Amino acid sequence: MQRKNCLGAPGSGYYQKMDMTTTLKQDIKRMMVENLMLNLTQDEIGDDMPLFGPGSLGLDSVDALQLVVALDKNYGLKIPDPDTARQVLQSVNTIAAAVAPLSPA
């Protein structure tokens, strides 16, 4: 009896979604490095690294505003208020989760 791979084969929906998510996160990191003029590469930004506060990437309120504008321009993500910004702009993962539903499948 052969065991079925629960994740599916490469090229299946699972792997395609995983590749799209990885690509999206890399695009977000690249956008951050370029738009915020960070002194590091996109590979140095962890997916779960906090963007603000102690032990973070060290972004400030001006960076937050620039990031909101860049996310709207590049992905059509609207961040209407400070509470939404605090939720979405926690890490690359939280940004990707907000952007993913807006990306074409």
Hey, where are the domains in the chain? 13-102
Distances (CA, A) of 73 to 4, 21, 66: 43, 19, 10
Mean pLDDT of 35-58: 94
Lowest mean pLDDT among 16-20, 37-41, 63-67, 73-77: 16-20
Q: Please, which pLDDT band fits residue 104 given cuts at 50, 70 and 90?
A: low
Mean pLDDT of 28-48: 95
pLDDT digits (tens, 9 = 90+) for 64-78: 999 999 999 999 999
Q: Does domain 13-102 have CATH number 2.60.40.420?
A: no
The alpha carbon of residue 49 and the mean position of all alpha carbons in its chain are separated, in whole angstroms, by 11
Task: Report residue 43 as tokens.
Answer: 């590979």
pTM of this prediction?
0.80
Mean pLDDT of 18-24: 83
d(CA 32, CA 95): 11
Mean pLDDT of 47-52: 97
